Amino acid sequence: MQPASSADPYFPVVRPPPCESLRWQRRGGITGPMVHLSARTVAALDALARVIVPELDAADGDSWRRFHAVIDEALGDRPPRLRRQFAVFLGLVHVLAVARHGRPFARLAPEQQAALLMWLQDRAPSLLRKGFWGLKTLVFMGYYAQGEVAATLGYAPSFSGNERLHA
Amino acid sequence: MREERADVVIIGSGAGGGTVAKALAPLCREGARIVVLEWGPRLADEEFATPAAGRELTMARKLYVEAGGVLNAERTMTLAFGRGYGGSTVVYTGTSLIIPQATLARWGVPGLSWEDIARRSRIYMQENNVHFLDEDALNDNNTLFRDACEKLGYRVEQFPINVKGCKGSSLCNLGCPNAAKQGTNRVQLPAAEREGVEVITNCKALRIGEREVIARVANAPFGLPSPWPEGDVRVTARAVVVAAGAVNSPALLLRSRLPVSLPALGRYFTAHPALILVGEHERPITNFYGHPKSFYCDHFAETHGFLLETCMYFPFTTAKNLIGFGAEHSELMRRMDRMQMILVLAIDPALAENRVTVGPDGEPIVHYRFTDGVLDSLLESMKVSARIFFAAGARRVHAPAGERFFIEASEVDRLDERITRRRLVPGRISISSAHLMGGCRMGSDRETSVTDSWGQVHGVPWLFVADASLFPRAAEINPYITIMALADRVAERVRAYLEGARPS
């Protein structure tokens, strides 16, 4: 059987090496919590995620492991090109923070972090804006798709919802 | 390569393919072999019973192409469509409407009458147990919308839906866990199989040749295995019916070497671009209990080009549709039990430049740009939705094009300042589509259409299309029943063709 498109999660896909190609990502030199992002890139992701979903600041190790696992799986479903673009975008946020404030994103004051992300969301050039939308989507997926989070949201679905309509 | 011979090959098992399969099934009694090739797997019933909390991603990966996150080429719209035994009928909410006469008139397809479409639509509505839910089966999310629309003088109607034994899980879009939704996986396909139609799952059509389909069987890591062994297979047939949906039907025809030139193939793609708005109430309301989609408002369809529908989504889907992040976003998300939701859908024009193409790998690429008219419709729809929320008693509203994350009830008279075009920027807001239409449009002019009014491809008499890609323009309503009605017509033409064609 010929190998099918690597973009299709249904077909067996050989997982690529964990680190992406950008040199600055390799400086970390240690294995991280995700297969598809280097440890350094994961650190950048986590710093952004804490601002996007403040609950992650107080999350325990299990919650973070689930967060990373969900995003890792989603990245694994995407072609290598998109994974690279995502890693590049995370790097660009780092560069923007340094260019604007002289410090990496993780070391900015909370209001500076929020302002930078708000700029990315509302006023950045189209490519960056879409990149931020993609980042938010992945972060929200990593957090809100966890079943363990549902109760904290007041979300308690039931297969027999009609029984609870007039309870 | 394995070889199989059939009389009819149907590609796709959703609203279109499932309907054709059942309509042609009586031919099996006369010795015909009818085969349905379905790309995705058939899920066992117990797979639909994945626990409710946390099932969002699990079921999305099993039931949707790319887990419901296909992006257009411009990365400004998310396309959600199903894959598997039953296609998108497994994942939609089951609302079943007959296409309005005015809409069909706008379609302007010679030989296509509303009376005929309405008649066929009613057949399938009856077959699928389409009916109105009783009042006591309606939740607050729905009745608040209805009552507010009535208070504001907006025309509001109840959706008839195709369910039998609905228990109100509100999980329709993740596959009904109670086997209540009457999609083709519950009605048409089993009926067709009882008559001898073979449904070959995990089988992707790669390309179409002269009266043949080259396909590949590869079992998904979930669901039931394909009845055929894995590997490539050539299926020769007297007639081929393509019903792979508005993204994959044009793509399949584009990567196949058809013997005719079809300039309109892939073009005139429409999508009913949609947004979600959320109103927050002071107290918990019933929203994720009960059927999620009971009412719609078409009051502004003719004047402003949009529809409003009730809806209720899941945590991740809700989170990604709120435009913002941080404390305010989290604050609203923690109140899912107080959320009232409205889905707004713009009625988009059919433009030649909005189209499906194929990449070097033969996979579809959807090129879609929003017109100013569509953005204007979405903008106005958000203001109307906000008025509905406040009339329903919501304390504040989140609108994707809001100047701030929340719009307070006290600002109801200042919506023009609070919801603005400058915030309605593709790529910033989450626009999605689950109504994918066009790409193989019907018509009489071979320059601007792909099939005639019976779904027969121009110049290729053995090749038919039977899904929403036939739509020459947007349906302006949920397209499901219209797809079935058109597919029923296509089946009739296929039968006539087989009876008139020479044996192969």
* pTM of the predicted protein model: 0.94
C-alpha dihedral, B311 to B312 to B314 to B320, nearest 10°: 50
DSSP secondary structure of B155-200 = --EEPPEEBSS----S-GGG--TTS-B--TTTTHHHHHHHTT-EEE
For residues A114 and A121, give the distance between their C-alpha atoms in angstroms, rounded to a whole number. 10
The amino acid sitting at B189 is: L
- Asked if A160 has any chain B CB less than 8 Å from its own CB, the reply is yes
User: 238-297 in B: which are within 8 Å (CB) of A?
Assistant: 284, 286, 288-290
Size of interface A-B (CB pairs under 8 A): 163
Q: What is the pLDDT of residues B491-502, one digit of tens each?
A: 999 999 999 964
**What does the pLDDT average to over B296-305?**
98
10-residue stretch averages of pLDDT, chain A, 167 residues long: 36 38 38 82 95 96 94 90 92 94 94 96 94 96 94 94 91
pLDDT at B411 over 50: yes
SS3 B36: strand
**What does the pLDDT average to over B389-395?**
98
For residues A26 and A32, give the distance between their C-alpha atoms in angstroms, rounded to a whole number. 11
Task: State chain B's mean pLDDT as an integer.
Answer: 96
Q: Where residue B53 falls among pLDDT bands split at 50, 70, 90?
A: low
Give the HSE-up count for residue A105: Cα atoms under 13 Å, Cβ half-sphere: 24
SS3 A157: coil
For residues B348 and B306, give the distance between their C-alpha atoms in angstroms, rounded to a whole number. 9
CA distance A150 to chain B (A): 6
Strands (E), B61-113: 70-71, 77-79
User: 114-143 in B: which are within 8 Å (CB) of A?
Assistant: 136-137, 139
Measured in degrees and rounded to the nearest 5, phi and psi for residue B202 equal 55, 35
Closest-CA residue of chain A to B39? A10
| b/e map B43-64, b = 16+ CB within 10 Å | beeebbebebbbbbbbbbbbbb
- Encoded tokens for B300: 């502004």
Q: Where residue B290 falls among pLDDT bands split at 50, 70, 90?
A: very high
Helix residue spans in B40-139 (DSSP H): 55-63, 101-107, 114-127
The pLDDT value given to residue A12: 35
For residues B237 and B167, give the distance between their C-alpha atoms in angstroms, rounded to a whole number. 42
Within 8 A of A157 by CB-CB distance, chain B residues are 52-53, 169-171, 288-289
The pLDDT value given to residue A31: 53
Closest partner residue to B320 (CB to CB) among A9, A12, A137 is: A137
**What does the pLDDT average to over B350-355?**
98
Residue with tokens 């100047």: B403
Within 8 A of A155 by CB-CB distance, chain B residues are 53, 288, 314-315, 336-337
- Asked if B201 has any chain A CB less than 8 Å from its own CB, the reply is no
The pLDDT value given to residue B501: 65
The pLDDT value given to residue B172: 96
Q: With CA atoms as reference, report the closest residue to B269 among B430, B467, B456, B10.
A: B467
Within 8 A of A53 by CB-CB distance, chain B residues are 325, 329-330
Q: Bigger pLDDT: B503 or A17? A: B503
For residues A64 and A140, give the distance between their C-alpha atoms in angstroms, rounded to a whole number. 13
CA distance B212 to chain A (A): 20
For residues B197 and B36, give the distance between their C-alpha atoms in angstroms, rounded to a whole number. 7
Q: Of A29-43, A130-144, B96-110, B290-304, where does mean pLDDT reach its minimum?
A: A29-43
**What does the pLDDT average to over B328-334?**
98
Closest-CA residue of chain B to A138? B320
For residues B259 and B459, give the distance between their C-alpha atoms in angstroms, rounded to a whole number. 8
